Structure 1
Amino acid sequence: MGNPLLISGAVLSAGAALLHLGCIVFGASWYRFFGAGEQMAQLAAAGSWRPTFITSSIVLVLAIWSLYAFSGAGLIPRLPFVRLALCVIAGIYLLRGVVGFAFASFAPGGNGPAFWWWSSTICLTIGVVHFVGTWQAWSQLSRVAA
């Protein structure tokens, strides 16, 4: 059936990718709602390419992370370096979660403290899901795909 935590991690990363894609499609109001900062919202409203480029990059990374978690769960074919990739993915989510709490005190990038608290909690949660799922599947991840 697959590792439930890695499946959950894949779905969470895919969901985050879709929400970021929504910011590109729906523009400034979504950037504001999700706390991307007033500068990003204004750039999007002005038709600048920068918010689309930055957000598209995030969408691509999150989609790849989702695929790696699905691969680690055994739901899609084994991707190269799946073990290493899942460790790095979990580490980045965990680091972003922890560091983001420190940012809440001075709110860089035009984002308010609420953005940093919420996004850090979400990233920390997704990181724990990936970490524990990877730990649970570790022995299966070391096997060479047939």
Structure 2
Amino acid sequence: MHTASNKYLLAASICCFATALVHLGCIVFGGDWYRFFGAGEQMAQMAEQGLWYPTIVTSALVIVLLVWGFYGLSGAGLIKRLPLTKLALILIASIFLIRGVSFVKLMPMFPENSLTFWFISSGFCLFIGGLFALGSWQQWSALGASNS
């Protein structure tokens, strides 16, 4: 694998880890953080009431983002190669990009989320998905060129 510093995959990983940290902050700091990040009043109130739902949903997102961050580092050659790295990176990029462009269809399913939340989170998803896509393309197009 081509391991010359892949800045796109490294940046995508950092974004995933930072986003996981923000989600973890919502769990730790509760309702005010859910409100600030636009998750909706219902999620904020459930967190303030000590209900399990916000913690479970947010914890799942934290885990997914951490795994995706590690796949980015793996694809960049900065950590040990993880199973199915190439496929995982393509799927991760696709999921981020699809989430980024499909927010209009998702909005009715989450009416509590603010419009600001949708624009900012969708923009971040497009940005991170683009980093994963560019980094994956760079990594394996360079690999293909070196094998020729």
Gaps of 5+ in 1: none
Matched, 1:8 2:11: yes
1:56 alignment partner AA:
S
Residue type at the aligned position of 1:127: G
2:93 aligns with 90
Residue matched to 2:135: 133
State the match for 1:68 in structure 2.
Answer: 71
Which has the higher relative contact order, 1 or 2, with Cα contacts under 8 A spaced 6 or more apart?
Answer: 2
Counterparts of 1:1-146 in structure 2, within 5 Å, are 1-103=4-106, 108-139=110-141
- Kindly provide the amino acid, as one letter, of the partner of residue 99 in structure 1: S
Q: Are the aligned partners of 2:16 and 2:65 in contact in 1 as well (CA < 8 Å)?
A: yes
Once superposed, which parts of structure 1, at least 4 consecutive aligned residues long, lie more than 6 Å away? none
Counterpart-to-counterpart distance in 1, 2:126 and 2:35: 22
Where structure 2 has 5 or more consecutive residues not aligned to the other structure, the ranges are: none
Aligned-residue sequence identity (percent) comes to: 50
The answer to whether the 8 Å contact 1:107/1:116 transfers is no
Contact residue 6 and residue 76 of structure 2 kept, 8 A = yes
Aligned residues: 141
CA RMSD of aligned residues (A): 1.7
Kept in 1: contact 2:39–2:114 (CA 8 A): no
1:131 corresponds to which letter in structure 2?
Answer: A
1:88 & 1:2 partners in 2: Cα distance?
22
Q: 1:27 to 1:21 in 2, by over 3 A?
A: same
Query: CA 1:79 to 1:140, structure 2 compared with 1: closer, same or farther past 3 Å?
Result: farther
Indicate if the aligned counterparts of 1:21 and 1:59 stay in contact, CA closer than 8 A: yes
